[in-house]
């Protein structure tokens, strides 16, 4: 197995097995979760292919299986399924054991508005940095959708994301060069702010937040449509 594949297996195996836990019974949500994950993955993969071909980021073959689809390593495509699934599962676990753990609606709206403004400003002032501009714009749209849809998701997700950051720092840290020689995923620093938390570009935090939020919004809407 490649290092990237091992990281994905470690990230997804436990959530998948615990999906059948009698209390959580997360497998009953699969009819909403998997269609949403695949829809969001499709959008992110399209941009990933484009950015890889443009050299905005790339992959170290030393840590890959050597199997490619659409110019991307197989592991990178699986990333958009495994990591969202694990993140959604972790969010639901926290919600199951702490159902009242969420922000007041007023504070939630203030946070959404403030983050939308900040994201738009980051995008405006970094049009020359493709990764920074792309993720700032994508984050602002996700936050705006949550606000316009009056979604309840951010009220708890703002909190559970802090929990999700724990495995994120470990997995993404290794992918970006922590604890290993070189890196699994490399970045062209001319296309981002050049700011890192350990070895992780700051944009990756917004990337993870937006990707998971889009999944939650899709799940929420799918549940509403199926309940009609």
Residue 207 vs residues 68, 148, 195, 214: alpha-carbon distances, Å: 23, 21, 14, 11
Dihedral Cα 196, 201, 203, 204, nearest 10 deg: -130
Q: Over the stretch 79-114, which tens digit does the pLDDT of each residue have?
A: 999 999 999 999 999 999 999 999 999 999 999 999
- Residues ≥6 apart with Cβ < 8 Å to 115: 139, 140, 143
The fraction of the chain above a pLDDT of 70, given in percent, is: 100
Contacts of 197 (CB under 8 A, 6+ apart): 169, 205
DSSP code per residue over 152-192: SHHHHHHHHHHHHHHHHHHHHHHHTTTTSSS-SEEE-GGGS
Give the pLDDT of residue 21: 94
55 — phi, psi (to 5°)?
A: 75, 20
Chain centroid to Cα 155, Å, comes to 17
Sign of CA dihedral 87, 175, 129, 203: positive
The pTM score is: 0.95
pLDDT at position 81 is 98
Q: Please provide residue 68's backbone torsions phi and psi, each rounded to the nearest 5 degrees.
A: -125, 145
Q: What is the pLDDT of residues 173-188, one digit of tens each?
A: 999 999 999 999 999 9
CA proximity to 201, closest of 210, 209, 192: 192
């Amino acid at each position: 197995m490649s290092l990237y594949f091992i990281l994905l297996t470690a990230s997804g195996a436990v959530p998948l097995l615990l999906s059948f836990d009698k209390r959580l019974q997360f497998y009953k949500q699969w009819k909403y979760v998997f269609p949403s994950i695949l829809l969001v993955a499709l959008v992110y993969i399209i941009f990933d292919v484009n950015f890889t071909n443009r050299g905005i980021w790339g992959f170290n073959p030393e840590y890959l299986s050597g199997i490619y689809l659409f110019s991307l390593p197989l592991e990178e495509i699986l990333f958009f399924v495994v990591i969202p699934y694990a993140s959604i599962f972790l969010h639901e676990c926290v919600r199951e054991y702490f159902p009242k753990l969420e922000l007041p609606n007023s504070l939630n709206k203030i946070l959404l508005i403030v983050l939308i403004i900040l994201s738009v400003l980051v995008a405006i002032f970094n049009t020359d940095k493709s990764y920074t501009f792309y993720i700032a714009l994508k984050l602002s749209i996700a936050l705006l959708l949550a606000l316009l849809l009056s979604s309840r998701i951010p009220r708890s997700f703002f909190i559970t994301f802090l929990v999700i950051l724990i495995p994120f720092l470990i997995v993404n840290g290794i992918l970006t060069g922590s604890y290993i020689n070189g890196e699994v995923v490399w970045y062209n620093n001319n296309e981002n702010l050049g700011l890192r938390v350990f070895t992780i570009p700051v944009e990756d935090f917004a990337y993870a937040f937006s990707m998971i939020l889009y999944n939650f919004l899709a799940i929420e809407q799918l549940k509403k449509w199926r309940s009609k």
